[in-house]
Amino acid sequence: MDLTILPGKLNGTVKVPSSKSQAHRALICAAFADRGTEVICRTVSEDIEATVRALVMLGAKIRPTEEGYQVCPAPQTRTSDGDEHTFDCGESGSTLRFMLPLIGVCGAHVRIEGRGRLMQRPISELTDVLKNKGMTFIRQGQHLDVRGALRSGLYTMPGNVSSQYISALLMALTLLGEPSEIHLTTDLSSSAYVQLTMDVMRSFGAKASAEDRVFKIRPLDRYHSPGRFIIEGDWSAAAFWIAAQALGSDICIKGVREDSVQADRLAGAYITQLMNAGDTEIDVDGCPDLLPILAVTAAASSGKTVFNGARRLRDKESDRLEATAAMLRGLGVSCELSDDTMTVSGTGGRPLSGGAVDAFNDHRIAMSAAIAATVCESPVTIRGAEAVSKSYPGFWEDFKSLGANIICQ
């Protein structure tokens, strides 16, 4: 789907969708809990549906409700029936990484199917430690065959590749009946996402602790359901509207918690820095998903901005560094890339040119280009605008409700 957005500021009130990151974690804990859980989640995206499919495949019963999901956990932790099960992971990297050790908890034999770039995204550091604890993995094109029974014990791995590896192990090892430890050989990147995992686990009665580079996991037979769990608003979605505010739109944003531990809660502070600091540097290692919209904000500000710690963005739904650069250049903005950095030259408040950009099948590129259109002198055409359904399926409806003039092509 191609959309053309006419230049113009936005005005009105928007309620952000539920946090995709928190929803993944809450649904997993609920699926392995001691009783049913009502998960209040006002937004359903393709990534969350992928996690739901996986948990149903592992034996949970999950029923959509008007407010989210009713989760009835699998009747027992180990659900292997000897048969091979298949599920479609879509393009959800979170689902893929979180499910790998959980499949081992269940002793299941599963064929995982993926789409887009999913099966090219890194998982080897995670599968290597799982192989040492009883699991096997066979990759066949866009399929990954997984089997084996996971064992508790000591897990040693780097912390600077993906925080999702640590989150996956924390949620799974809790269910193995004996204590385990995770020792990191490097500092932990994106540590706020691991903190989010541990917060959700605590809400379900788990007791994992972290000190320096060591995580200690106390086992449970099952997670302890709180009965009802409310998914908070998504700061990574709010970041687009915060940027639009800074660029001159009049938007009231509702649904996010100021005390959230979500990594992308930093969006407001970074956007303020970009609009006021002139030449500046921002490290996005802890919040890589913010880079595309921060880059748009930097393009419309004064001075030159250097974004550091961006290497891991090359392994997202697209090579997100290259995709962001292509978007900016398509709108007349000068930017430079290295392996780990992006440098954006601001226009000093002058309008961006407008033009045609490709979303590269990346939801965050599509939404960032839409916000960029509010400060362009000519229309912006976004090719592949349907990519927003991965995380924020109601984005275009919200965008229109704020007064955007959109032409569907």
Q: Is the pLDDT of residue 82 over 70?
A: no
The whole-model pTM stands at 0.92
User: Per the residue annotation, which of 47, 289, 315, 398 is the catalytic one?
Assistant: 289
Q: So what's the pLDDT on residue 139?
A: 86
Q: So what's the pLDDT on residue 148?
A: 93
DSSP assignment string, 74-134: -SSS----SSEEEEE-TT-HHHHHHHHHHHHHHT-EEEEE--TTGGGS--HHHHHHHHTTT
Distance CA 216, CA 196 (A): 16
Q: Is the pLDDT of residue 141 over 80?
A: no
Could you tell me where the DSSP H helices lie in 266-387? 267-276, 291-299, 320-330, 363-372
Taking only the tens place, the pLDDT of each residue in 230-251 is 999 999 999 999 999 999 999 9
Confidence bin at 125 (pLDDT 50/70/90) = very high
| Average of per-residue pLDDT values in the chain | 92
Strand partners, 18: 233
Taking only the tens place, the pLDDT of each residue in 268-296 is 999 999 998 789 999 998 899 999 999 99
Q: Is 2-17+233-408 in CATH node 3.65.10.10?
A: yes
Confidence bin at 119 (pLDDT 50/70/90) = confident
Confidence bin at 44 (pLDDT 50/70/90) = confident
Distance CA 306, CA 191 (A): 22
Task: Determine the average pLDDT of the residues in 389-393.
Answer: 91
Q: Can 289 be counted among the known catalytic residues?
A: yes
More confident residue, 126 or 348: 126
Q: Is the pLDDT of residue 386 over 70?
A: yes
Pick the closest to residue 82 from 109, 112, 110, 54 (CA basis): 109
Residue 223 has what DSSP assignment? B
Taking only the tens place, the pLDDT of each residue in 325-360 is 999 999 999 999 988 899 999 998 899 999 999 999
Q: So what's the pLDDT on residue 116?
A: 78
Q: So what's the pLDDT on residue 189?
A: 86
- Which residues of the chain does CATH 3.65.10.10 include? 2-17+233-408, 20-230
CA angle 185, 187, 189 (to 5 degrees): 125
How far from 231 is each of 67, 208, 256, 260, 270, CA to CA, in Å?
10, 21, 10, 11, 24
Structure tokens at 100: 């790998």
Taking only the tens place, the pLDDT of each residue in 93-118 is 899 999 999 999 999 999 999 887 77
Lowest-pLDDT range, 46-50, 335-339, 394-398? 335-339
Q: So what's the pLDDT on residue 81?
A: 56
Share of the chain above pLDDT 90, in %: 77
May I ask the CATH class of domain 20-230?
Answer: alpha beta
Q: So what's the pLDDT on residue 8?
A: 94
Beta-carbon count within 10 A of 219 CB: 15
Task: Determine the average pLDDT of the residues in 40-58.
Answer: 93
Q: So what's the pLDDT on residue 317?
A: 66
Q: Is the pLDDT of residue 77 over 70?
A: no
